[in-house]
Amino acid sequence: MLKQEITSKFAELLDIARGSFDHVMQTTRDNFDVFVETAATLLREERPLPLAVDEVNTPAELLQMDMALLAAAPIAAVPRHAPFHPLQENGHRFLLAEGGLFVEVRRPWLHFIHQLAEHKVVAIPYGPVAPKCEMDFGKLGTALAQLKEFAVKARADAPIEAAASVLWDHRQKTWRIEYPEIIGEASASRIQYRQVEPGPDESVAIDLHSHGHLNAFFSETDDADDRGAVKVSGVYGNLDTDKPTVAFRLCVLGLYIPLVVPAEKIFG
Ligand SMILES: [Zn+2]
């Protein structure tokens, strides 16, 4: 983004230069190169670095590491005047808006904007941004066939824990369920498996597991497993009764947002 900015500013300068193009062309090619180089240096000096560092006196390797962090999780000010341009590529960034700090996350199946911290005391001069949770597949109910299929499997395996991945193909707009390869021996409380490999247009949008005869809830182990992930997580429980329970949540980089899914829909 930074590069783009510089390039576009540079293009502007070149446009200005073109205004007096005849004059420029009268000078030698060498002079023109000097002009380009000087303009680039000036731009570099004028450029506000979004890192609070002394760019000149910081060792290059430290600066590079911080620039890499910034590139992986950038911070962007929400515009007050121009239209807000959502994150286009997969990843996440932090947004500073007039109302405080937000996180914006993009996956092939998800566009998510969530407020992390509200702030009103010191006026933040940037624009507003609205929270958003847009899933490419619409509602979780579009995967009902796969959620029902796992119900059958989880019941058959109980009290041993079962697991499944439900993959969303964002090109074909279709769901597919896949059962991961179990590593070692699954027990009632623990299952270890090799993560399912999604196809090129697929994402593991829903991760499912079961709690056998226990009720459906997210345990500390589940929290640890889901930390940092971006997916919907679902757990089925009370599988030895005629009233099984389910719990669903959207996991986004450590945030857990409960999703309401009636168990009767899946087990009915
Ligand atoms: Zn669990």
Q: What is the pLDDT of residue 22?
A: 58
Query: If pLDDT is split at 50, 70 and 90, which confidence band does 37 have?
Result: confident
Cα(215) to centroid of ligand 1, in Å?
10
Query: If pLDDT is split at 50, 70 and 90, which confidence band does 195 have?
Result: confident
Cα(222) to centroid of ligand 1, in Å?
5
Cα(255) to centroid of ligand 1, in Å?
17
Residue 198: helix, strand or coil by DSSP? coil
Cβ contacts of 73 within 8 Å, gap of 6 or more: 91, 92, 93, 94
Which of 82, 79, 88, 118 is CA-nearest to residue 102?
118
Neighbours of ion ligand 1 (CB under 5 A): 219, 222, 235
Cα(162) to centroid of ligand 1, in Å?
10
Cβ contacts of 236 within 8 Å, gap of 6 or more: 150, 151, 154, 208, 209, 210, 211, 216, 244, 245, 246, 266
Query: If pLDDT is split at 50, 70 and 90, which confidence band does 1 have?
Result: very low
Cα(206) to centroid of ligand 1, in Å?
14
Cα(219) to centroid of ligand 1, in Å?
5
Q: What is the pLDDT of residue 4?
A: 55
Cα(225) to centroid of ligand 1, in Å?
9
Q: Are 238 and 213 in contact (CB under 8 A)?
A: yes
Average pLDDT of the chain is 88
Query: How would you classify residue 54: left for phi > 0, otherwise alpha for psi between -120 and 50, otherwise beta?
Result: beta
The 10s digit of each residue's pLDDT in 70-111 is: 999 999 999 999 999 999 999 999 999 999 999 999 999 999
Cα(147) to centroid of ligand 1, in Å?
16
Q: What is the pLDDT of residue 171?
A: 96
Q: Per DSSP, which regions of the chain are E strands?
A: 75-77, 91-97, 100-107, 110-118, 132-135, 163-169, 174-178, 181-182, 193-194, 202-210, 230-237, 245-252, 255-259
What predicted TM-score, i.e. pTM, was given to this entire model? 0.78
Separation CA 222–CA 235 (nearest Å):
9
What percentage of the chain reaches a pLDDT higher than 70? 85
Cα(169) to centroid of ligand 1, in Å?
26
Q: Which residue has the higher pLDDT, 217 or 185?
A: 217
Query: Which range, of 3-17, 65-79, 104-118, 226-240, averages the lowest pLDDT?
Result: 3-17
Highest mean pLDDT among 5-14, 84-93, 188-197: 84-93
Cα(247) to centroid of ligand 1, in Å?
10
Cα(180) to centroid of ligand 1, in Å?
16
Cα(217) to centroid of ligand 1, in Å?
7
The 10s digit of each residue's pLDDT in 201-224 is: 999 999 999 999 999 999 999 999
